Amino acid sequence: MQTTTESHSLEVTGKTLTMADIGKLQPPFVLAPLPYPAASLEPALDAKTMEIHHDKHHQTYVDNLNKLIADKKDTKDLQTIITTLTGKEKGIKNNAGGHWNHTFFWTLLSGDKEKTKMPDRLKSEIESTFESVEKFKEAFEKAALAQFGSGWAWLYRDGSGKLAITTTGNQENPLMDVATVKGRPIFTVDVWEHAYYLGYQNKRADYLKAIWNVVNWVQVDAYDKEVTAH
């Protein structure tokens, strides 16, 4: 039997999540633990960065979102919140986006060599769009570096189902009804300074190069299968 806390949180340890699982999260939102030990992504991402990023930054988005929606009777699950932002205050967009984006991001990282090996199906999808995995990485890094200030870089399926790369500012995400670029994300990298400053200072390019060592491609492949199935 589930406890109340479990029904509001996301247990990600040891299983492949779906995007639908993230969307079904209900208020009041609860910060789920990282799906792996904070030190397990070293040396690419150090434990202290992961702890502060998750325990402080992500927790703040969750707390702020709960406060902002506490008196709103029409508030439903996280998917509904991020897809019906028109007319809502900017704080809800920032904090609901912060919760969705970070929850998604944690699942996309792993120190497990079985998970960081790209499945053949995804490899061939990436090659058919970007020519090679290396060219995809170059294009992704270039876009992520060009994002001015805080934001996210995304690999997503666009309206025609094609794989594409984009970036968003602050906590915007392509699923939002108010997003500048809309689509179905399958992978993202947080390019806020809080994601890399302790380990890399201002060197975002070095952080981007290192993060490829800890991408959970098995999870990216699962998200891609999920979004292309609908």
Handedness of CA 65, 41, 15, 11 (dihedral sign): negative
For 17-45, the DSSP string reads --HHHHHT--SSP-PPPPSS-GGGGTTTS
> Applying CB under 5 A, which part among 12-20, 88-96, 115-123, 183-191 lies near Fe ion?
183-191
Regarding 172 and contact with Fe ion (CB under 5 A), the answer is no
CB nearest Fe ion: which residue?
Answer: 190
> Applying CB under 5 A, which part among 130-138, 162-170, 185-193, 207-215 lies near Fe ion?
185-193
CA 53 to CA 229: how far, in whole Å?
A: 32
Of the two residues 123 and 194, which places its CB atom closer to Fe ion in the complex?
Answer: 194
CB of 130 to Fe ion, least distance (A): 26
The single-letter code of the amino acid at 126 is: I
Of the two residues 190 and 221, which places its CB atom closer to Fe ion in the complex?
Answer: 190
Work out which of 172, 190, 221, 224 binds Fe ion, going by CB under 5 A.
190
Please report the beta strands in 170-207, taking only residues with DSSP state E, as ranges in sequence order. 184-190
Work out whether strand 151-157 and strand 184-190 pair parallel, antiparallel, or are unpaired. antiparallel
> Applying CB under 5 A, which part among 6-14, 40-48, 82-90, 187-195 lies near Fe ion?
187-195
Of the two residues 77 and 193, which places its CB atom closer to Fe ion in the complex?
Answer: 193
The single-letter code of the amino acid at 176 is: M
Binding mask 125-164 for Fe ion (x = CB under 5 A): ----------------------------------------
Q: CB burial class (10 A; 0-12, 13-18, 19+) of residue 86?
A: exposed
> Applying CB under 5 A, which part among 117-125, 136-144, 148-156, 188-196 lies near Fe ion?
188-196
Regarding 192 and contact with Fe ion (CB under 5 A), the answer is yes
Q: Count residues contacting Fe ion (CB under 5 A)?
A: 3
CA 183 to CA 168: how far, in whole Å?
A: 12
The two three-digit tokens of residue 14, written as one number: 């040891």
Regarding 224 and contact with Fe ion (CB under 5 A), the answer is no
Handedness of CA 37, 43, 45, 51 (dihedral sign): positive
Of the two residues 35 and 163, which places its CB atom closer to Fe ion in the complex?
Answer: 35
Which stretches of the chain bind Fe ion, using CB under 5 A?
A: 190, 192, 195
